[in-house]
Amino acid sequence: MIMKFNYYSSSALLKLCINIALMFVFIYPLHFVFFPISTRYILALIGLICIIYDRRTFNKYLIGVAHFIPVLFFSILTLVVNQTSDIGIGITPIIYTLSFFSVIGVLKVTKAYNRRKFVDLFVAAVTLQMIISLLFFVNPKIEETVNAILVTTDLAQQALEDTEGIRMRGLGAAFFSSGVINCIALLLISLCYTSSRKIYIIAYFIIFIIGIFVARTIVIGLLLSIPLLIKKSKVSLRKIVVWCAAFVGALIVIGSNLKNSDEQKYLNLFNFGFAIINDYESSKKFNTGDIDALSYTGKLPLEIKTWIIGDGLLADPVRPTTAYYKHVDQGYLRSLYYFGLLGTISLLMGYFMEVRKVVKHNRNKWFYLLFLFYTIIMYKGLIDIFQFIIPFYLIHRDDSSMLRPI
């Protein structure tokens, strides 16, 4: 077990560190300059080899990806109807196949065959990412040194330059993606919290308090997870008040120190993390750039055909590598413009079917929170969380193993 290993055993500590590192590169794929492919493809290759020798896992793969076949069908239909060649969301089954293989790969190499061990490693890896983000912000030279051995795209490099000294940044994930991962970590903590996992509370605080300076999206994870976490903790009202007071107090102390700092980058960080509060104080309205950007006003399709089957375009036809079609980046809008309501509903149904399998497998209806989270987060951006859902269909809900070791 992860949280109760022998602290005096160097071999146990080394094994734990290796497993956390393996889970880290699964959650945040890294591409090192001295290696031809990213860690995601390495894990996928390991998973593919495992599936070849495990018929049961192969059957689970077929069932898992099959739910997204309608997405492929409507993608082909919109491309034919609109005579376009933007494969966009149409490659979802292929991407999810790769994700499935990488999930199998990380489960095998970490031997995380049960829910407890998987969540322990997941939470530890995300907490590590938060610590790395804090370290990078405090000492940018460390970030420069690490990024020098990583392959980054031109867009990713531009994003790093644009946000330097403004927000915290970790490894291997874009800002929105990192925010989504942080939300999932908070949800998993609330879903799997037990009295023997009180260290999850510490991880929860670290992930949120640092995560708010990485991506404000984490507030969604907080709102969805905190009621369940309080319910499962079974603590008295007095303790709940103490926890909430400590939580708010920590934010006030951090915010006050950042706001009163003499260094511009800490002032920028305060303005980013507490933007909604700053805007309310100045204008008495909650109108941050994020909230304004979420508005669908004037962006919805005008033609009936677009509503039904879309325009078959995900990227801007003039600048396909740097801009989105219709210059919208909200998830539902991009999906609507690509393959209409038919495709969008099929995408949502695919995720619903996946989560329903997880609910039945774990005998826990609270896992529907993952689907609720997906429907909410799609309002902001088009995102893939398949690889974070499917493990809970493959691994066992207790300490036994459903996957044979390699």
Tens of pLDDT, residue by residue over 210-268, are 888 888 889 899 999 988 888 877 766 676 777 777 777 777 777 666 666 666 776 66
At 128 the pLDDT is 94
**pTM for the whole structure:** 0.86
Instruction: Dig out the tokens for 131 from the structure.
Output: 């610590």
Range of the domain at 62: 31-110+295-406
Confidence band, pLDDT 50/70/90 cuts, at residue 118? very high
Q: What is the pLDDT of residue 291?
A: 60
Residue 184 vs residue 89, higher pLDDT: 184
pLDDT-derived band at 314, boundaries 50, 70, 90: confident
End-to-end CA gap in the chain:
20
Q: Is residue 232 part of a domain?
A: no
The residue whose two tokens read 């950007």 is 293
Asked if residues 59 and 154 have their Cβ atoms less than 8 Å apart, the reply is no
Percent of residues, the chain, with pLDDT higher than 90: 25
Tell me the residue type at 337: Y
CA dist 362 and 124 (Å) reads 22
Whether residue 145 lies inside any domain: the answer is no
Q: Which residues of 100-116 are buried (b: 16+ CB within 10 A; e: fewer)?
A: bbbbbbbbbbbebbbbb
256 CA to centre of own chain: 29
Contact in structure between 65 and 100 (CB atoms under 8 Å): yes
127 occurs within a structural domain: no
3-state secondary structure of 362: helix
Q: Is 227 among the domain residues? A: no
Contacts of 64 (CB under 8 A, 6+ apart): 96, 100, 354, 357, 390, 393
Q: What is the pLDDT of residues 382-394, one digit of tens each?
A: 888 989 998 998 8
Taking residue 376's Cβ as centre, other Cβ atoms within 10 Å add up to 16
In-domain check, residue 131: no
pLDDT at residue number 157? 63
CB 229 within 8 A of CB 190: yes
Residue 5 scores a pLDDT above 90? no
Does residue 396 sit within a domain? Answer: yes
Instruction: Tokens for 101, please give them.
Output: 């293989």
The pLDDT of residue 10 is above 80: no
Report which DSSP code applies to 326: G
Residue 161: pLDDT band with limits 50, 70, 90: low
Question: Mean of the pLDDT values across residues 36-45?
Answer: 90
What is the overall mean pLDDT for the chain? 81
Report yes or no on 303 lying in a domain. Answer: yes
What average pLDDT does range 177-186 have in this prediction?
92
pLDDT tier, 319 (very low <50, low <70, confident <90, very high otherwise): confident
Instruction: Average the pLDDT over 49-65 and give the result.
Output: 78
pLDDT at 166 over 60: yes
3-state secondary structure 68-93: CHHHHHHHHHHHHHHCCCCCHHHHHH
pLDDT at residue 2 above 70? no
DSSP conformation class of 263: S
Residue 85 lies in a domain: yes
Phi, psi of 114 (to 5 degrees): -130, 160
Please tell me the total count of domains within the chain. Answer: 1
Provide the pLDDT for residue 279: 60
Task: Give the CA dihedral 329, 333, 339, 341, nearest 10 degrees.
Answer: 160
Tell me how far apart the alpha carbons of residues 103 and 256 are, in angstroms, rounded to a whole number.
Answer: 42
The model's confidence at residue 121, banded by pLDDT at 50, 70 and 90, is: very high
pLDDT, tens only, 128-155: 999 998 888 888 888 888 888 887 766 5
